[in-house]
Structure 1
Amino acid sequence: MSTTDEPKAGKRRGRRPAGEDTRTALLDAARAVFSENGYDGATVRAIAARAGVDAAMVNHWFGGKDSLFAQAVLELPFDPQMVVDTLLEGEVDTLGERIVRRFVTVWDSTSGGVFPALVRSLASHDKAAIGLRDFLIKNILDKIVAQIKTDQPQLRATLCASQLIGIGMARYVARFEPLGSADTETVVAAVAPTLQRYLTGDIGSISSN
């Protein structure tokens, strides 16, 4: 057989070389498998198989599943300060619209991105809950609410987070219809008024005992 013959269709070409392409392949595969199965349901073997590499490469590049999860799922896929700065451009009265539109647009572009992986891992991995909280509240919503200088900023930020997480779960994880396939502006029109009230409207108060 000629040394230039291509591998037959359907057959694996063997392990990838242990280079940077292997690391990238593992990260991509991990995001997919964690999104489908959550942290507990995702195995090193399944991730390696999806990437087309030997399972030993997970330990070689990441030291294990926990570190791979942190790098594939918990690291933000964008600069949060840039997002905050962009969202704060414009009138405060339309801030809710901009937040919902940005949230849906960003995650629609990647079919939910790492959001399903975070949600499906909440019950089994403490870092998933921390990552989701940091992603929405600490890195974005806390900073936005601080800039508009309203009362009860922490309560307002967490209320906004609850609304966005609910949209994300229904749209990207459970895929409830018709919300799952609704166009961006339909979602904005339906959800933005609630988010705007959380940001600047009357939300009552939480009494401490």
Structure 2
Amino acid sequence: AIGLSVLLELARVFSGLEKSPRRSIIFLALTGEEKGLLGSTYYTDHPLVPLHKTIANINIDGVAFFPDFNSIFAIGSEFSSLNTFVRKTADKLNLSVDEIPDEFNKYEAFNRSDQISFALAGIPSILILEGLKNRSKSEKEVLQSFINYMEKIYHTPFDDLNQPIDYQAAVNFTEVLFNLIIDLASSEKVPEWNEGVPFIHSRLQTIAEEK
């Protein structure tokens, strides 16, 4: 629900901009992720806009735990030139971009949420998370919070409104997403898959078939 709140707030802010960005933005609320990516798979099978005209997917799956984060993760950015956009946004906001820790690989971070459906459909995709660097907590504390969440709460009945929400963390996280999205939507450059990434074949297919 908190991720959906961020999605709606971003849609509200973008709809109120005096000058629209170069590209259209679809704000898409999906369902059934924990049941097997049902909503995102359905969308990529029945897109509102042809897949070959969709330049990127920025997935929102929750928000930051702590308000004082000063780094971010971009899960999946290593596969495409979205990494360049992420680093530009991070520099603008005085954030660093953390390398994905080994502990995250255990949870197959890129494959566990809706960004993988879009990647399999050929669309460069990422999931943004707060990083480990924080002005008021140690990296060990932040990492342990991630691990506790992934092992005990994520994709379980405990992921409910009883979980604490830090609203300033949500605001700070939304600012990161806004800056990343508006940069993407305003840029002349289109994100591309890196050479050798398997998702590139789906991209080439949708372009060839104009799907």
TM-score by length of 1: 0.29
Higher CA-based Rg = 1
Q: TM-score, normalised by structure 2?
A: 0.29
If each structure's helix is expressed as a fraction of its own residues, which one has the higher value?
Answer: 1
